[in-house]
């Protein structure tokens, strides 16, 4: 039977980052990933990094390319009622955010792990976690047609919302909290310059729209859509028309269109499970919580979990102390709920929930108030750039 100190299930950003930080601290680990390397590296997802995430990637010695290629954004704009208001993140909080795609974060981490000779197993099938309520958890999986068994001290469940780890915990041991939203986001990626050098979040009577980007030559745009919408019903021309209708005239005129290189529909959900630890199994990132992408928090929250867990494991292996491991769930959940609250609130004021004009007028009043109040804007800004996080 093979052995490691920490078995990490999932090679998304949380699994890869945890693996790299543990390795740099001399802690042996294996990452088991169900998908191929190409699939993992090609998934288009998040794109906005908080400063705390940037710092953690640098600590993981996986931030060199990010530092040279990221776009630093000192502000975002809120568009509503035909006008646009800039939220000066830097002036209000002293912090900025970095635009650097999750695909790039993942590629950098895979490269760093591969260069260090990591045991990073892609296409690991039928992963099963067992005996994690004992001191000697086991992980079984199939790889290259053979069945393997791994013995470890801890299992990190970094396997996303649909992963096996959370599902392996006895039902009665977990409490789940969930909100689904009655709409999704239809997103496209296109190799065209963005409409603005910063992100624009737009509230419109027809529904929400977001102008985002991955670089100054690659744009990411979204429009709110019905949950049962079909991609076939959205040729590029229809998408661009709908996007422009939902933006103030000046911004709509600045949208440069082009063929989409990716198009997808994502449902929106708030989800939290408690606690995040069961015996020697720890839930991390999307395996533990999901937030709607409006607040750009999903990836940052995954990184925040990793920050607590890797320090707790380092403390354990260096000093045999278990205090931080015992507090992992409490610390990670506190931050998760703050992000759930902010993402829910931001989603609530920016999206169309019904045809009731009263609701839309309330949203416009809230945005009007926000744009004229430094206190309200500061509250938005400090949540957007990431709240301080002391362990």
**Edge-to-edge strand order for the sheet containing 2-3?**
2-3, 146-151, 138-143, 125-130
| Nearer to ligand FAD among residue 309 and residue 360 (C-beta) | 309
Site for ligand FAD in 296-335 (CB under 6 A): 296-299, 302
Q: How far is the CB of 120 from ligand FAD (least distance, A)?
A: 11
Q: How many residues bind ligand FAD (CB under 6 A)?
A: 33
Nearest CA among 10, 2, 23, 11 for reference residue 317: 23
Of 269, 28, 323, give the one whose Cα is nearest residue 160: 269
Rounded to a whole number of angstroms, the minimum distance from the CB of residue 45 to ligand FAD is 3
Q: How far is the CB of 284 from ligand FAD (least distance, A)?
A: 6
| CA quadruple 106, 112, 113, 117: dihedral, nearest 10 | 150
Taking CB under 6 A as the criterion, the residue among 8, 11, 105, 308 binding ligand FAD is 11
Residue 289 binds ligand FAD, judged by CB under 6 A: no
CB of 338 to ligand FAD, least distance (A): 15
Which sign does the torsion angle of CA 301, 215, 159, 122 carry?
A: negative
Residues 215-244 that bind ligand FAD (CB under 6 A): none
**Separation between Cα atoms, residue 284 and residue 276, nearest integer Å:** 7
For residue 223, CA distances in Å to 119, 124, 240 come to 40, 36, 10
Q: Per-residue DSSP letters for 92-146?
A: HHS--EEE--HHHHHHHHHHHHHHTT-EEETT-EEEEEE-TTSSS-EEEEEETTE
Which residue, among 37, 19, 48, has the nearest Cα to 154 in the 3D structure? 19
Q: Which stretch binds ligand FAD (CB under 6 A): 80-88, 152-160, 355-363, 378-386?
A: 152-160
CA–CA separation, 223 vs 296, rounded Å?
Answer: 15
Pairing between β-strand 154-157 and β-strand 281-283 as defined by DSSP bridges: parallel
* Catalytic residue of the set 23, 73, 137, 222: 73
CB 175, min distance to ligand FAD, A: 20
- Per-residue binding string, ligand FAD, 20-59, x by CB under 6 A, is ------------xxxx----x----xxx------------
Task: State in angstroms the smallest separation of the CB of 362 from ligand FAD.
Answer: 26
Nearer to ligand FAD, 267 or 372 (CB): 267
Residues 123-142 that bind ligand FAD (CB under 6 A): 124, 127
13 given a catalytic annotation: no
User: Residues with Cβ < 8 Å from 157, sequence gap 6 or more?
Assistant: 9, 10, 129, 163, 164, 165, 166, 281, 282, 283, 284, 287, 288
Q: Is residue 10 close enough to count as binding ligand FAD by CB under 6 A?
A: yes
Among 101, 163, 184, 207, binds ligand FAD (CB under 6 A): 163
**Do strands 119-121 and 29-32 pair parallel, antiparallel, or not at all (unpaired)?**
parallel
In whole angstroms, the minimum distance from the beta carbon of 44 to ligand FAD comes to: 7
| 352 is annotated as an active-site residue | no
The reply to whether 230 belongs to the active site is no
Per the CB < 8 A criterion, the answer to whether 191 and 179 are in contact is no
Using rule CB under 6 A, residue 200 touches ligand FAD: no
The closest of 285, 294, 269 to 345, measured between CA atoms, is 294
Is 293 noted as a catalytic residue in this protein?
A: yes
Q: Applying CB under 6 A, which part among 89-97, 174-182, 251-259, 292-300 lies near ligand FAD?
A: 292-300
Which of these is catalytic: 107, 297, 352, 360? 297
Rounded Cα distance, 64 and 285, in Å: 23
- Does residue 347 interact with ligand FAD by CB under 6 A? no
- Residue 160 binding ligand FAD, by CB under 6 A: yes
Which of 52/163 has CB closer to ligand FAD? Answer: 163
CA 134/CA 125 separation, integer angstroms: 24
Q: Is the peptide bond before 360 cis (omega within 30 degrees of 0)?
A: no
Q: Would residue 384 show up in a list of annotated catalytic residues for this protein?
A: yes
Annotated catalytic sites, by residue? 73, 201, 293, 297, 384
Residues forming contacts to ligand FAD in the complex (CB under 6 A) are 9-15, 32-35, 40, 45-47, 102, 124, 127, 158-160, 162-164, 266, 285-286, 293, 296-299, 302
């Amino acid at each position: 039977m093979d052995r490691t100190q920490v078995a990490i299930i999932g090679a998304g950003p949380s699994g890869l980052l945890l693996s790299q930080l543990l390795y740099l601290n001399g802690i042996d680990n294996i990452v088991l990933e169900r998908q191929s390397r190409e699939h993992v590296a090609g998934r288009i997802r998040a794109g906005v990094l908080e400063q705390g995430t940037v710092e953690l990637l640098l600590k993981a010695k996986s931030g060199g390319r990010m530092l040279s290629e990221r776009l630093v954004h000192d502000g975002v704009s809120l568009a509503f009622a035909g006008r646009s208001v800039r939220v000066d993140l830097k002036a209000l909080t002293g912090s900025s955010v970095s635009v650097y795609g999750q695909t790039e974060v993942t590629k950098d981490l895979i490269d760093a792990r591969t260069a260090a000779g990591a045991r990073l197993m892609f296409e690991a099938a039928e992963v099963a976690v067992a005996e994690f309520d004992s001191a000697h958890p086991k992980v079984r999986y199939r790889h290259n047609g053979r069945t393997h068994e791994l013995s470890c001290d801890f299992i990190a469940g970094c396997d996303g919302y649909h992963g096996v780890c959370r599902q392996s915990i006895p039902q009665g041991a977990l409490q789940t909290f969930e909100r689904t939203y009655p709409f999704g986001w239809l997103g496209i990626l296109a190799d065209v310059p963005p409409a603005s050098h910063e992100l624009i979040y737009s509230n419109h009577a027809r529904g929400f729209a977001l102008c985002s980007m991955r670089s100054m030559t690659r744009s990411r745009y979204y429009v709110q859509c019905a949950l049962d919408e079909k991609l076939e019903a959205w040729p590029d021309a229809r998408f661009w028309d709908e996007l422009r209708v939902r933006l103030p005239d000046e911004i709509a005129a600045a949208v440069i269109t082009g063929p989409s290189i990716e198009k997808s529909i994502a449902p929106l959900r708030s989800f939290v499970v408690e606690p995040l630890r069961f015996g020697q199994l720890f839930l991390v990132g999307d395996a533990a919580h999901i937030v709607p992408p409006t607040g750009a928090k999903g990836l940052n929250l995954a990184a925040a979990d990793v920050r607590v867990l890797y320090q707790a494991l380092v403390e354990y292996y260096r000093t045999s102390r278990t205090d931080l491991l015992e507090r992992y769930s409490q610390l990670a959940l506190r931050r998760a709920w703050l992000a759930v609250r902010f993402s829910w609130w931001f989603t609530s004021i920016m999206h169309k929930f019904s045809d009731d004009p009263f609701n839309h007028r309330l949203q416009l009043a809230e945005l009007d108030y926000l744009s004229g109040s430094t206190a309200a804007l500061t509250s938005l800004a400090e949540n957007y750039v990431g709240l301080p996080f002391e362990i």
